[in-house]
Structure 1
């Protein structure tokens, strides 16, 4: 579980990152979850864009994505979901205490 200070730190780091995945009307599927896991292992912090043709509520979708990748939901801002998961092999981000 992330603290408020850690979430602020991650939001600041994510500000300059572009979304690398999009969730459309097809919603979440196993292939997307697998790709998200691979990206999180390499980058630790990613943005996912939710397209307008996706009818799921963004808050529920964000929690579902975080749960399925075993990561942390940092923030949902507009139609963008920010996810964090510490890497096992490529540790880059050192969180504040």
Structure 2
């Protein structure tokens, strides 16, 4: 998968601004069940928000990179305790600039 350009990242951030988090990461952090739900969400939506809850003790940027690596997605943004992930679907709905 090619890396996102600055223009594409800005475009995805704009699209992701109004999204609600669809996956919450808590004390269990990156469990198999959590990774499966992220996979399903990415397949359905392409662009998702993941929220880190108080119980998550690992660094947010570390969690974001691990999550992206394990789900073959890309981190579009890490803002506060929210991560924006992007992975094009087999039939992409989002057309990147």
**Both proteins in one fold, TM over 0.5:** yes
Cα RMSD for the two superposed structures: 0.7
Partner residue in 2 for 1:95: 96
Alignment of 1:1-97 (within 5 A): 1-89=3-91, 91-96=92-97
Distance in 2, matches of 1:55 and 1:46, equals 22
TM-score by length of 2: 0.95
Distance in 2, matches of 1:50 and 1:56, equals 10
**Number of matched residues?**
95
Which runs of 5 or more structure 1 residues have no equivalent in the other structure? none
Deviations 1:14-50 (A, max 9, x none): 0000001100011111111111111101100000000
TM-score by length of 1: 0.95
Which runs of 5 or more structure 2 residues have no equivalent in the other structure? none
